[in-house]
Amino acid sequence: MQTKKDSGWIWTPDWTVKDQQVPKLVLFRRSMMITSSVNAAKVKVTADSRYKFYVNGRLVEVGPLKGNQKKWYFDELDISNYLHVGLNVIGVKVLRYPPVHRAGNYGVVRTKMPGLYIQGEIDTDEGTYPLVTDSGWKTFNEHRFEIVSEANDFAPLQIYEKSSGSEVSQKWLMVDADLTSWKPAKLYEQTDIPTILKVENLQQRTVPFMRRRLARFGGIKQLVQTDSSLEIWNSFLLDDQPIAIAANQRTIVEITANAEQTGYLRLSVAGGAGTRIKILQSEAYVKPETQTVNGLTIHVKGDREDEKNGYLDGFYDTYTVGGTGTSASPEVYVPFWLRTFRFIRLEIETGDQPLTLTQFNYESTGYPLTVKTEVQTSDASLHQIWQLSERTLRRCMHETYEDCPYYEQQQYLMDTRAQILYTYAISADDRLARKAIDDFKCSQNPDGTLNASSPNFEENIIPTFSVYYIWMVYDHMMYFDDHQLLKDNLETIKRILTYFEAHVTDEGYLDNLGGLNGISRYWSFIDWAAEWNQTSGVPTAVKYGPVTIESLLYLYGLQAAIKIMIHLGFDKLANKYLDQAEKLRAAIKRNCIGENGMIQDGPGLAIYSQHARVFGILTHVLSYEQGRLSLVRTIEHRQDYAQCSVAMSFYLFAALKQVGLYSESNQYWDIWRRMLAKHCTTSVEAEAGERSECHAWGALALYELPTTILGVSPATPGYRTVSIKPTPGYLKWAKGSVKTPVGVVNVDWRMKDGQMNLNYDAPVEVELEEE
């Protein structure tokens, strides 16, 4: 029973100093006899670090919602449909990450105190049963489970497992489970609890639970080493027909999921004690050669489906079969964390006992995104690019936005600003966006910068990424106009701009804000341009002094802030930022434009990039004609200018539109056409070194087609009026419906003899401009 000193948090009593240094899995269980029908049953659940909550053997939810350094979330679960009259078993798995540098998932914040918290009650016809974490729970420290780092250097996930099956791991949720090795839970006292975990400080979940749906693989891609036929293996995967593997055999097969997926793998077996199973998850077939890109050694890729000339490389789990399963009640292995995969290489080594595989599938998972926008154009390839883009965005949306689901699962500022706009354009859903804005706000450092990725257990700063946060807030203003959200983020914006203001030189532009990754404290990343490979995504001008693009980005941030302040009626602040912006623009013109009229990558340096032109256009440092001429030069003479990669295409396309060059977008869509030609199913991170196969900053089509090509965007904050300004570019016609926060806008246009014939309807007043 709980006492006044008890905190409501529990843990296992056999926790050692060694346990505190590595990721660990702890099981919690209690039985409850319910004697009458259940009317309602809601419980609040959280844990440090991650939990899986089960009732009567069924997984209810996974959580808690990822928090940040200032907020810890609890989830409220409705378990009424999982309970029944009679004996019920409640179970929780907790994966505890230690508060040790690089020993846990980078995106999971944790404290020095491992723990589980549950508070709720079950209402029945005959009375109410409390369901709380107290000494009535039993615990088991799972020593057969180990997290294996995915790499020796940069390994932000820490999710891959080496584990063994046992009676406990297979039967712990059964009514008749043997609990002789389990221990009563240890109750923490109030004084033990870190401030962020105290009950009164816990925050309720702000985004919906993730979608989970049972899914099957597409079938066998390649039989590498097996005694069974292709037909037998496909019957196993597609129809759950058991497949027998003899004792002392080595079996290897490669399986396709048809496209990149995120989900919980589930493998069921019978017999086969001692069998070692390796489940390798891969995004693509790679060539047997490597290259060094931005300091990382990565494989060269061609056709992603070419198993004849390539092989699968990736991360893997290893599982040793306990031998507890039968055909009627198989042994089941489900890794704790979701996995990302397009292909699976299944390697099985049986020992002295034969093994029967009874089932192998997965439960797909992701944010419950509902796409309502539809667009068709005269270019059929854009439909394929849209499908690739939608899949990319979906795979990079879970409890936070993610840069990539396979390598990092980090929510980065630059990536997230684009992902949020893509989400707005196809669904008008801002729930995950609001959490992202808050996560970044809560990451602000004493000097005013934001963490480049948040939530993050550690410091990770790219100074100019804070600019994208200001634009996130502006974008939300234009789509939704939540004044409370704007005011809640006002001080954060002011501190960001104060940071940049402190770095303005006597000449009027910014000094060095950072430098190279891993060398300077702060990283001056701009883009994964091929030309900047040796400087880890930083313009080479950084070797000689300040980087002009950082000043341009500061100006870009000031311009968003000015619009926010004017909208809120803070005229004094708006005028202050306007004055700073004008002085900065003049300084860039005075010091950073060469004799050729081109913006330099560094003051006085004859080094040029497409990026400086793009932001020179977007910030109006360059006039319409100057911007048009200089951007054309970077297009026609690519070899002379660092080119925008996938990451910066969002801003390149915006610049093309602004200076009347949108017809050039046709050649830039070739980036995605090349992906399709190589049988990619999601957008690569960058063409110059295709490390990640799924990077959501590449889901550009989801924004360009409805917002630029159909031309639908908010004309005034909160979408009170809608702008319909189609930009045809090279296209002959386009039509579609765009979901907005105020309803659906339908647009249909065709070009004839250089003139646009436009039809539309909208639920609010329209500001119309045909281009």
**Residue closest to 221 by CA, chosen among 258, 249, 260, 250:** 258
Which pLDDT band holds residue 575 (cuts at 50, 70, 90)?
A: very high
> Is the Cβ–Cβ distance between 60 and 200 less than 8 Å?
no
Indicate the pLDDT class of residue 2, thresholds 50, 70 and 90: low
Say if residue 143 is in the same domain as residue 277.
no
Determine the structural domain holding residue 110 and report its residue range.
6-151+164-205
The answer to the question of residue 91 being in a domain is yes
Do 178 and 243 lie in a common domain?
A: no
- Does residue 266 share a domain with residue 189? no
In a domain, 718, yes or no: no
Residue 542 pLDDT more than 50? yes
- The whole-number pLDDT of residue 688 equals 87
Judgement on whether residues 189 and 262 belong to the same structural domain of the protein: no
Digit-coded pLDDT (tens) for 704-724? 999 999 999 999 999 999 999
Task: Kindly state whether residues 221 and 73 are assigned to the same domain.
Answer: no
Q: Among the three residues 320, 350, 366, which one is the final residue of a domain in this structure? A: 366
Q: Does residue 171 sit in the same domain as residue 308?
A: no
The CATH number for 353's domain is: 2.60.120.260
* Long-range interactions of 515-519: CB distance < 8 A, separation 24+: 515/542, 516/542, 517/294, 517/295, 518/295
Instruction: Tell me: do 183 and 247 sit in the same domain.
Output: no
**DSSP string spanning 507-551?**
TSSB----BSTTTSSSB------GGGGGGTTS-GGGGTS--HHHH
Tokens of 638: 């690519």
Rounded to an integer, the average pLDDT of 734-739 is 98
Could you tell me the pLDDT band of residue 298, with boundaries at 50, 70 and 90?
confident
| Together in a domain, 178 and 230 | no
Q: How confident is the model at residue 4 (pLDDT cuts 50, 70, 90)?
A: low
Regarding whether 288 and 269 lie in a shared domain, the answer is: yes
Both 172 and 296 in one domain: the answer is no
Residue 6 has pLDDT above 90, yes or no: no
pLDDT at 396 over 80: yes
Mean pLDDT of the chain: 97
Whether 435 is in a domain gets the answer: no
Closest CA to 164 of 348, 405, 331, 368: 331
Which residue, of 307, 342, 366, is where some domain finishes?
366
d(CA 300, CA 282): 14
Tokens standing for 458? Answer: 């550690």
For the chain, what percent of residues have pLDDT higher than 70? 99
Q: Are residues 38 and 185 in the same domain?
A: yes
User: Are 194 and 223 contained in the same domain?
Assistant: no
In the chain, DSSP finds a helix count (H) and a strand count (E) of 16, 35
Q: Mean of the pLDDT values across residues 306-312?
A: 97
How many structural domains compose the chain? Answer: 2
Q: What pLDDT is stored for residue 771 in this prediction?
A: 47
**Residue pLDDT, tens place only, 251-273:** 999 999 999 999 999 999 999 99
pTM over 0.95: yes
